[in-house]
């Protein structure tokens, strides 16, 4: 079996944010206490990534779309820029740079799958406006993302996705052999994960914001910040764990600064 007969997965860092850790991890051991009421905050690196997948059937998929170049202006009205500045992105990181490095363009992509529609995942989805690419989100995510009036609701910024043709899934869906979209709600109304069964690297489960950090995974899991449905979030973590244990696979966390350094990343450094 040569590499052209195998699924190829390229993980692309798409810009580093910083944020207070409490957005990501509700960890009692780092919280203020009676004895230490003024405990320091943890200001941490919050990397973002997208996944570029090439299937032996000839189809290409992009998972998530990263953060926007114009985050300072785009995130000003919502105030999100002060909490999640993209203050450590290199020129090579932005999604448009990444696509160029891959010598591909939006219209070459068959599927854009968005784990959810938050501003650090859907920001560049409009690169795919007026293309033939099928854009896929969870049906409950779409419902929620259009359920409010005004500019944004939390980290959902309507102008990121409002004019796009969004197709939806309502159950776990094998999109291509070895490539399965998993429903893992809780972080938002309809957060998705992506399971890829690779010939050499084994199963990789891209959890996106269903699991930001390895620290959160456990067992036992430590609750994450920004969770719309806590019970569903814990259930989704155990769903991911079940698949990970059954397949002997690896979970790729959504915003884990330590893990991303250990992974093979960038154009040419793919997994098969």
Query: Considering the complex, what minimum distance in angstroms separates the CB of residue 105 from Zn ion?
Result: 25
CA distances from 23 to 174, 209, 221 (A): 32, 12, 16
Query: Considering the complex, what minimum distance in angstroms separates the CB of residue 46 from Zn ion?
Result: 8
Within 10 Å of residue 210's Cβ, how many Cβ atoms?
31
Tell me whether residue 93 or residue 120 sits nearer to Zn ion (CB atom): 120
Q: Is residue 202 a contact partner of residue 243, using CB atoms and an 8 Å limit?
A: no
d(CA 139, CA 168): 5
Residues 40-99 that bind Zn ion (CB under 5 A): none
d(CA 184, CA 210): 6
Count of residues that interact with Zn ion, criterion CB under 5 A: 2
DSSP state of 94: S
Residues 8-47 that bind Zn ion (CB under 5 A): none
Tell me whether residue 160 or residue 209 sits nearer to Zn ion (CB atom): 209
Query: Considering the complex, what minimum distance in angstroms separates the CB of residue 152 from Zn ion?
Result: 15
Query: Considering the complex, what minimum distance in angstroms separates the CB of residue 158 from Zn ion?
Result: 17
Q: Is residue 150 a contact partner of residue 157, using CB atoms and an 8 Å limit?
A: no
Query: Considering the complex, what minimum distance in angstroms separates the CB of residue 172 from Zn ion?
Result: 21
Phi, psi values for residue 217, rounded to 5°: -70, -40
Tell me whether residue 110 or residue 120 sits nearer to Zn ion (CB atom): 120
Q: Is residue 74 a contact partner of residue 124, using CB atoms and an 8 Å limit?
A: no
Residue 120 is a binding residue for Zn ion (CB under 5 A): yes
Tell me whether residue 191 or residue 195 sits nearer to Zn ion (CB atom): 191
Residues 159-218 that bind Zn ion (CB under 5 A): 209
Tell me whether residue 93 or residue 209 sits nearer to Zn ion (CB atom): 209
d(CA 268, CA 251): 21
Tell me whether residue 138 or residue 209 sits nearer to Zn ion (CB atom): 209
Q: Around 34, how many Cα atoms within 13 Å sit in the side-chain half-sphere?
A: 0
Residues 127-156 that bind Zn ion (CB under 5 A): none
Tell me whether residue 213 or residue 243 sits nearer to Zn ion (CB atom): 213
- How open is the CA angle 72-20-26, to the nearest 5 degrees? 135
Stretch that binds Zn ion, among 16-24, 91-99, 115-123, 178-186 (CB under 5 A): 115-123
232's CB contacts (< 8 A; 6+ apart) are 185, 186
Query: Considering the complex, what minimum distance in angstroms separates the CB of residue 55 from Zn ion?
Result: 25
Query: Considering the complex, what minimum distance in angstroms separates the CB of residue 131 from Zn ion?
Result: 24
Residue 256 is a binding residue for Zn ion (CB under 5 A): no
Kindly list the residues in this chain that would bind Zn ion in the complex (CB under 5 A).
Answer: 120, 209
């Amino acid at each position: 079996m040569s590499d052209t007969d195998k699924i190829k997965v390229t993980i692309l860092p798409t810009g580093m944010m910083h944020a207070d850790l409490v957005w990501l991890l509700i960890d009692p051991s780092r919280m203020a206490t009676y004895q230490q009421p003024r405990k320091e905050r943890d200001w941490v690196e919050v990397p973002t990534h997208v996944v570029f997948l090439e299937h032996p059937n000839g189809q290409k998929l992009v998972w998530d779309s990263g953060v926007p170049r114009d985050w300072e202006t785009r995130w000003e009205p919502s105030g999100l820029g002060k909490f999640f500045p993209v203050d450590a992105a290199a020129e090579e990181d932005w999604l448009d740079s990444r696509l160029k490095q891959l010598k591909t363009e939006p219209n070459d992509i068959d599927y854009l799958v968005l784990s959810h529609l938050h501003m650090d995942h859907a920001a560049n989805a409009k690169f795919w406006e007026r293309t033939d690419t099928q854009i896929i989100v969870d049906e409950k995510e779409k419902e929620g993302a259009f359920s409010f009036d005004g500019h944004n609701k939390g980290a959902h910024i309507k102008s990121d996705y409002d004019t796009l043709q969004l197709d939806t899934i309502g159950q776990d869906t094998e999109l291509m052999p070895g490539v399965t979209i998993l429903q893992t709600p809780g972080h938002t109304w309809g957060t998705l994960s992506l399971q890829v069964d690779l010939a050499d690297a084994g199963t990789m489960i891209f959890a996106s914001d269903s699991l930001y950090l390895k620290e959160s995974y456990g067992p036992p899991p430590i609750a994450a910040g920004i969770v719309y449905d806590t019970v569903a979030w814990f259930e989704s973590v155990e769903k991911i764990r079940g698949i990970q244990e059954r397949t002997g696979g690896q979970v790729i966390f959504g915003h884990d600064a330590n893990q991303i350094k250990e992974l093979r990343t960038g154009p040419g450094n793919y997994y098969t």
